[in-house]
Structure 1
Amino acid sequence: MTMPDVCAPKSGVVLLDTRVHTPDHEHAVHLKLAEGLARLLGCPHVQPSQPPTASDGYYYLPTETLVDPKRQATLGICSEHDLFGGLVTYPYMATKAISHPLPAGASFPPGWTDAFARQASDALLRGYTVFSKADARNAAQLLLLDGPLRIKPVLACAGRGQQVVTTLDALEPLLAGMDEQELALWGLVLEEDLSEVQTFSVGQVRVAGQTCSYHGTQHLTHDHQGAEVYGGSDLVVVRGGYEALLQLPLEEHLRLAINQAIVYEQAAERHLPGFIASRRNYDIARGHNGQGHLRSGVLEQSWRLGGASTAELLALQAFADDPALQQVRASTHEVFGTPELPTDATLFYQGNDSELGQLSKFARIRDYDHSE
């Protein structure tokens, strides 16, 4: 999918919050992102008093990957030029469930195809997706022959809810708490467990006729209870597509991660009917499996705004402001407390969040490179 030379002008940017509950700090960041996207697109950030329709000509910022292209078309979301995020046809396509094939003879939901996993096989860790408890037991039996496996609920983010099991008996308590109907709709991932893991991010954003691509890493911080949580991302962002990213001097494991993200994305574009995305982000893990072999593979995709999106926005704006700019380093930061902000920080949230306590969220951009 390529950007056309001219994108139709938009009448406004609308934040489309599709979640049951959005924390205060996230809602504040989403509003700031909507304002930034409006500046890029040369239109206002609007909050419609009536439900939007296709005739309004809006650009949307959804809080989640959207499902059902026919329904979204009533809002005017028909291509990647209409939203910052992604759109898929069936619920499971929005999750990490697409990342693995089914075990032999397993049940599956409407729209399922193993063709995605076959095409993307070189970019994946060993694992299975299942849509029933019986199939989960069968998949676990196969994977445990080679070592520990990781149980990954597909709707959880940032590794939450994941468990490592080494025996079939240890699987049963985890399955007992799962709802069969939810499992049949969304799926569950069972995957080889890795040790000594490094996780890389590879992504691309396409807004207002611009494309920029990046690789990066995530860092952790401690919340007010002392738990280790996401603390931000450091990105190297280039103007252009993945081919521009691959022109950088890269370590081999990083070059592999980028190529695996490309293979994964190409499989999605070919085998997920109705898939569109202007924001694409992939987490790639590198580590040792139960037999001690070094493995690398895409863990999951994010076709929606994410933790790195504030940095993505600043990079897009920098490229828009300076046509000669080819590369920047951008970062996001989530700090518990009230730190003294760097002079080059763009603040997206600072306050006493009702759930997390005192929190500051900001982004920075630096190391401008005009070399071609």
Structure 2
Amino acid sequence: MKNVVLAYAGDHPSHKLATLASLGRKIAELKGCTFLEAALPAAFGTMADCYYVPLETIALEDGTGDRAAFNCHDLFGGIVPNAFMATKVISHPLVADAAHAPANWQHGLGAQLEKIVLEGFSVFTTKDLIRAAEDLLARGRIRVKSALADGGRGQTVIADRMALYGFLDLLEPASLAGGYVVEEDMEEATTYSVGQVILDDVCISYFGTQKMTTNNHNQPAYGGTRFCAVRGGWSALTGWLKDAAATRIVLAGKLYDDLAHDVLKLVASRKNYDVLVGTDSRGKRKIGVLEQSWRLGGASSAELLALEAFKEKPSLAAVEAASYEVFGRTEPATRADLVCFAGEDPQEGPMTKYARLEARYHV
């Protein structure tokens, strides 16, 4: 067993660094070991006795070593060969075989994911963005998203060619190097969370819903996740769920997960998939995996409460847990079981991030 939990950080907003430290301490408590805060990124992989808690998915191309040297018990999060593999762009194919793409692009993955994602393309140049957008606009509104955006930010809905070229006038061409996703826009949509977390000898899998809110800048923002978690893998979760629609959503996330392991050679202890259910421009209801998260995420505070509950009570069959992100000057709810941040962030303003264990179900 690793005897130190190490927070592996970088250049991030203060509320994210505070959350990293808070959850790192909680993981250390669950593992029964000490906590070392604020390690330099270069430290990853250099201390064999450390369990790492990074804010980002680890990319081996950044000089962290050989994939074979790490397994899911070395960190809370995931490891991929290349940095782009941890972003939204892997969910869609290129707009053409000859379109620009990063080195080591997996050309066959988009076709394998086609049945469980929305119609769309991943682009890395202005020319390819225009081609992808015009193709999809022929069938309805589109949504353009930066590969690195999170929390509902960095997205633009475009209804016609005039709006497309207005968007391009404001877009910095250099930003396209990191990739953009161009996909169909959905109406009457709900975003679900499908996830799996392993910590020592406890594995949980969960299904829940995400909540959006409005931040201090009057912009849409992630507001939290509420889920039901069971002990065990994907089959344990589908066995617990009684709703056929929920099962289909979980199976979409599972297929994405399977392909990530097989094609990208993912190593991960924390996996979360955003799955949207909505209506397309032709009135058809669809299920589509929007993106993956193989790192500390918005639901991780609730995930740790669920892991703690299963660790303490072997008789538990399932739990309900929820994470909350509230903007403005407020206090955590009186029933908060874990407070990650409560204060003033220089960029986001006043905000509070906490989690609660909402219910327990015994065998």
Does the TM-score normalized on the shorter chain lie above 0.5? yes
CA distance in 2, matches of 1:348, 1:117: 36
> How far 1:209 moved relative to its partner?
2.0
Query: Deviation at 1:30?
Result: 1.1
The one-letter code matched in structure 1 to 2:113 is A
Asked if 1:368 is matched to 2:353, the reply is no
Task: Give the share of equivalent positions with the same residue, in percent.
Answer: 37
Change (3 A) 1:344 1:351: closer
CA distance in 2 between partners of 1:340 and 1:268 (Å): 37
The residue type paired with residue 339 of structure 1 is E
Query: Offset at 1:290?
Result: 1.1
Aligned counterparts of 2:16 and 2:62: Cα–Cα separation in 1:
28
Deviation of the 1:330 alpha carbon: 0.5
Corresponding residue for residue 20 of structure 2: 30
**2:34 equivalent to 1:44:** yes
Written as runs of structure 1 = structure 2, the 5 A alignment for 1:162-173 is 162-173=155-166
The question of whether the paired residues in 2 share the 8 Å contact of 1:282 and 1:299 is answered with yes
Structure 1 CA distance for aligned equivalents of residues 123 and 345 of structure 2? 37
Whether the aligned pair in 1 keeps the contact of 2:61 and 2:82 (CA below 8 Å) is no
Contact 1:85–1:303 under 8 Å retained in 2: yes
Shift in alpha-carbon separation, 1:326–1:139, aligned structure 2, 3 A: same
Cα distance in structure 2, aligned partners of 1:40 and 1:265? 26
RMSD: 2.3
Which segment is superposed worse, 145-154 or 39-48? 39-48
What is the deviation of 1:77? 6.3
Counterparts of 1:225 and 1:55 in 2: how far apart (Å)? Answer: 41
Match of 1:62 among 27, 51, 54: 54
Match of 2:235? 243
Higher mean displacement: 68-77 or 52-61:
68-77
SS at match of 1:313: helix
SS at match of 1:82: coil
Contact 2:332–2:354, Cα closer than 8 Å, also in 1: no
Task: Give how far 1:253 is off.
Answer: 2.4
Where does structure 2 lack aligned partners over 5 or more consecutive residues? none
- What is the letter of the counterpart of residue 286 of structure 1? V
Cα gap change, 1:267/1:365 in structure 2, threshold over 3 Å: closer, same or farther?
same
Q: Any idea what SS the aligned residue of 2:352 has? A: strand
Counterparts in 2 of 1:153 and 1:223: CA distance versus 1, 3 Å? closer
2:75 maps to: 83
Contact kept? 1:54, 1:73, Cα under 8 Å: no
* Alignment partner, residue 131 of structure 2: 138
Q: Compared with structure 1, are the counterparts of its residues 181 and 260 closer, same or farther at alpha carbon in structure 2 (3 Å cutoff)?
A: same
Q: Give 1:283's match in structure 2, choosing from 274, 285, 288.
A: 274
CA shift, 1:117, in A, is 1.7
Which residue matches 2:63? Answer: 71
Q: Secondary structure at the match of 2:89?
A: helix
TM-score with structure 1 setting the length: 0.89
TM-score, reference length from structure 2? 0.92
Contact in 2 for aligned 1:58/1:76 (Cα 8 Å): no
Distance across 2 between alignment mates of 1:67 and 1:228:
29
Aligned equivalents of 2:70, 2:332: Cα separation in 1: 43
Following superposition of structure 1 onto structure 2, how do residues 207-286 of structure 1 map, counting pairs within 5 Å? 207-224=199-216, 226-273=218-265, 275-286=266-277
Relative to structure 1, the CA distance from residue 343 to residue 56 in structure 2 (aligned partners, 3 Å threshold; closer, same or farther) is same
Contact 1:69/1:78 (8 A) holds in 2: no
State the distance in 2 between where 1:46 and 1:75 align: 24
Task: Give the AA of the match of 1:47.
Answer: E
For 2:143, the aligned partner's letter is: R
Pair 1:113–1:227, CA change in 2 (3 A): closer
Following the alignment from structure 1 to structure 2, what is the Cα–Cα distance between the partners of residues 12 and 342?
31
User: For 1:151 and 1:280, how far apart are their aligned partners in 2?
Assistant: 24
Give 1:28 deviation, angstroms. Answer: 1.7
Larger deviation, residues 138-147 vs 222-231: 222-231
User: Does 1:301 pair with 2:292?
Assistant: yes
1:40 CA displacement = 2.1
Structure 1: tracts of 5 or more residues without a match: 1-8
